[in-house]
Amino acid sequence: METQACSPSLVASLCQALVRIPSVNPDDNPGTDQTGEAHCAQWIAQWLKTEFPGIHVETPEVLPGRPNVVARFPSDTLGKPRLLFAPHTDTVSIVGMTIDPFGGEIRDGKIYGRGASDTKGPMASMLAALHSAREVLPHLSHEIWFAGLAGEEAGQHGAHALAATEHFDLVIAGEPTGLDAVFTHKGSMFISLTTRGIAVHAAQPEKGRNAIYAMMDILQLVQRELVPWLKTFTHPILGHSTISAGTVQGGSKTNVVPDFCHATLDIRTVPGQGEPFEAELFAKLRSVCPDIEIEVRRSLPLLTDREHPLLQKLGQLGAQPVGAPWFCDAAVFAQQGSAAIAMGPGSIAQAHTCDEWIAVKDLEKGVEFFGSFLRLLQ
């Protein structure tokens, strides 16, 4: 395979530069000690200050050493409604990657590296489009903001921090959607379960209590009862809710009756599923194991009005309103009253993969699309 020889475009150069800055989310198993969004946020802040005279840029810490980068572009009138471009700066783990995760190599028209698709590529298209429209930005119908958000891949900390303090007429969360407008997506419940037992010598198991057996009862409940039950929660675009057991860990040695077992569940929820579902779910789990320990990390589903005027303008440019089975930062802003969608170039099929990439031609389509959208706001 031959490496592309011509000089990369602005958007390709931006994507390469961003990929080459490690910003792996530190939660779970990052696969590297180069974690956190600080260096990426600082690089973006400096680029914005250099390229856009008069811009207001801040890098507020969301968690220790993990800032957002938030920019407000100059406007000729106070009090305009606000439009926010909001990709995230963190990436998933690099464990199992078969390419240099931070190489940013261009090969056969594709940029390779962790985050190329999710979501440094879409971010590069947004930044390049803003750059191409920089002369008209102050005169648009909306005050334009940009935010590189920390922690989307686990906890959505950056989105929660910004959404709690600022309101926007529309938020475009940068995600690889093929430039369709994801106006609805599923939510998630990541559930951590722990069963406890009594450890004794395995030669006399009747004297103890086996925590793995207790978890087996829970997992049988998941497979036999909860999987079909969740199929009864449906949405006309997103389909039905789902549940999947993700991990199981327990015990200390083969010849010791285990006194603990941990398991995780991944539940994808649909709009309207809500709190009554959660209460019934927990009751079902405790009916099998009354003393089970349950911890939950939630991300809400998204449902934005397709008739929003800015979504109509996106439709004029060919963006189709679609749903998605995954979740993103858009729902956090929607929860706080800002209309929100997810959108960007590239395909989710390339996200989180062992050889993550995005096509340069898709990045350039993103620049053209977002630039055209901005000019529709004149």
Q: What's the pLDDT at 274? A: 78
The residue among 281, 294, 269, 186 whose CA lies nearest residue 225 is 281
pLDDT band at 151 (very low <50, low <70, confident <90, very high): very high
**How confident is the model over 162-180, as pLDDT tens digits?**
999 999 999 999 999 999 9
pLDDT value at 130 more than 50: yes
> Which residues are CB-neighbours of 158 under 8 A, at least 6 positions away?
37, 62, 66, 68, 88, 89, 147, 149, 150, 151, 152, 329
**How confident is the model over 3-26, as pLDDT tens digits?**
344 457 999 999 999 999 999 999
Rounded distance between C-alpha atoms, residue 125 and residue 367, angstroms: 5
Rounded distance between C-alpha atoms, residue 337 and residue 333, angstroms: 7
Q: By percentage, how much of the chain surpasses pLDDT 70?
A: 98
Return the exposure string of 186-218: e unless at least 16 CB atoms fall within 10 Å of the residue's CB, then b. bbbbebebbbebebbeeeeeeebbbbbebbbeb
pLDDT value at 1 more than 90: no
The residue among 378, 314, 368, 363 whose CA lies nearest residue 340 is 314
Q: What is the mean pLDDT of the chain?
A: 96
Judge contact between 347 and 117, C-beta under 8 A: yes
pLDDT value at 242 more than 60: yes
Q: Taking the CB of residue 225, how many other CB atoms lie within 10 A of it?
A: 12
Q: What's the pLDDT at 7? A: 59
pLDDT value at 88 more than 60: yes
- The CATH-assigned architecture of domain 187-299 is 2-Layer Sandwich (3.30)
**How confident is the model over 36-61, as pLDDT tens digits?**
999 999 999 999 999 999 999 999 99
Rounded distance between C-alpha atoms, residue 173 and residue 18, angstroms: 17
Q: Angle at CA 26, nearest 5°, toward 189 and 298? A: 15
pLDDT value at 276 more than 60: yes
> Amino acid identity, residue 166?
E
247 to 49, 195, 261: CA distances (angstroms): 45, 14, 11
**How confident is the model over 182-201, as pLDDT tens digits?**
999 999 999 999 999 999 99
**How confident is the model over 311-324, as pLDDT tens digits?**
999 999 999 999 99
pLDDT value at 275 more than 90: no
Q: Angle at CA 329, nearest 5°, toward 324 and 330? A: 65
pLDDT value at 2 more than 50: no
- The DSSP code sequence of 293-307 is EEEEEEE--EE--TT
The residue among 242, 308, 228, 298 whose CA lies nearest residue 270 is 242
- The DSSP code sequence of 112-123 is ESTTTTTTHHHH
> Which residues are CB-neighbours of 6 under 8 A, at least 6 positions away?
none
Rounded distance between C-alpha atoms, residue 68 and residue 158, angstroms: 6
Q: What's the pLDDT at 28? A: 81
Quote the DSSP letter at residue 204.
S
Q: Which residues pair with 245 in a beta bridge?
A: 265
* Mean pLDDT, rounded, for 120-136: 98
At 282 the three-state DSSP class reads helix
- The CATH-assigned architecture of domain 10-185+302-376 is 3-Layer(aba) Sandwich (3.40)
List the domain boundaries for the chain: 10-185+302-376, 187-299
Rounded distance between C-alpha atoms, residue 72 and residue 83, angstroms: 10
Q: Where are the alpha helices (DSSP H) in the chain?
A: 10-19, 38-51, 120-132, 157-163, 211-221, 227-230, 274-288, 309-316, 330-335, 360-376
**How confident is the model over 352-368, as pLDDT tens digits?**
999 999 999 999 999 99
pLDDT band at 148 (very low <50, low <70, confident <90, very high): very high
> Which residues are CB-neighbours of 64 under 8 A, at least 6 positions away?
none
> Does the pTM of the predicted model rise above 0.85?
yes
pLDDT band at 100 (very low <50, low <70, confident <90, very high): very high
